[in-house]
Amino acid sequence: MNKNMTLETARSPECLLFECISGSRAYGTDTPTSDTDLRGVFVMPRPLFFGTGRIDQVSDEKNDETYYEIGRFIELLGKNNPNILEILYSEEPCTRFSHPLFQKIRPEWVLSKLCEATFAGYAMTQVRKARGLNKKIVNPMEGPRKSLLEFCFVVRDQGSVPVSEWLAELGLKQENCGLVKIPHMRDIFGIFHGENYRGMIKGDDSSEVLLSSIPKGEEPIGWMNFNKDGYKKYCREYREYQDWLANRNESRYADNVEHGRNYDSKNLMHTFRLLDMAEEIATDKRITLRRPNREFLMQIRQGEFEYEDLIAQAEEKITVIGEAFAKSDLPEVPDLEKLETVLIEIREEWY
pLDDT by residue (tens digit) across 247-261? 766 555 555 555 555
Contact 39, 22 (CB under 8 A): yes
Q: 99 and 40 in contact (C-beta within 8 Å)?
A: no
Query: CA 281, CA 293: separation in Å to the nearest integer?
Result: 16
Q: Which pLDDT score, from 0 to 100, does residue 1 have?
A: 41
**Euclidean distance between CA atoms 334 and 7, whole angstroms:** 29
Which of 122-136, 139-153, 158-172, 236-250 is predicted least confidently?
122-136
Q: Which residues of 134-148 are buried (b: 16+ CB within 10 A; e: fewer)?
A: bebbeeebeeeeebb
- The CATH architecture that domain 1-110+334-351 belongs to is 2-Layer Sandwich (3.30)
Tell me the average pLDDT across 61-73: 95
Residue 6's beta-bridge partner residues? none
Q: Are 192 and 257 in contact (CB under 8 A)?
A: no
Q: Is 69 helix (H, G, I), strand (E, B) or coil?
A: strand
Average pLDDT over residues 150-170: 95
C-beta separation of 295 from 330 below 8 A: no
Mean pLDDT for the chain overall: 90
Greater confidence, 308 or 252? Answer: 308
- Of 343, 287, 351, nearest to 102 by C-alpha is 343
> What's the chain's length in residues?
351
Q: Find the range with the poorest average confidence among 131-145, 150-164, 183-197, 311-325.
A: 131-145
CB 101 within 8 A of CB 349: yes
- Domain map (residue ranges) of the chain: 1-110+334-351, 112-140+249-330, 148-233
Closest CA to 201 of 169, 167, 161: 167
Among 152, 172, 173, 290, CA closest to 227:
152
Residue 2 clears pLDDT 90, i.e. is over it: no
pLDDT one-digit tens code per residue, 272-305 = 999 999 999 999 999 999 999 999 999 998 889 9
**Residue 220: which residues within 8 A CB-CB, separation 6 or more?**
180, 190, 191, 192
At residue 70, the pLDDT reads 97
Q: Determine how many CB atoms are found less than 10 A away from the CB of residue 197.
A: 22
% of the chain residues with pLDDT over 90: 70
Side chain identity at residue 344, one-letter code: I
Across the chain, where does the E strand assignment appear? 16-22, 37-42, 57-59, 65-69, 95-98, 152-156, 159-162, 177-181, 188-193, 222-226
Q: How many other CB atoms are found less than 10 A from the CB of residue 107?
A: 13
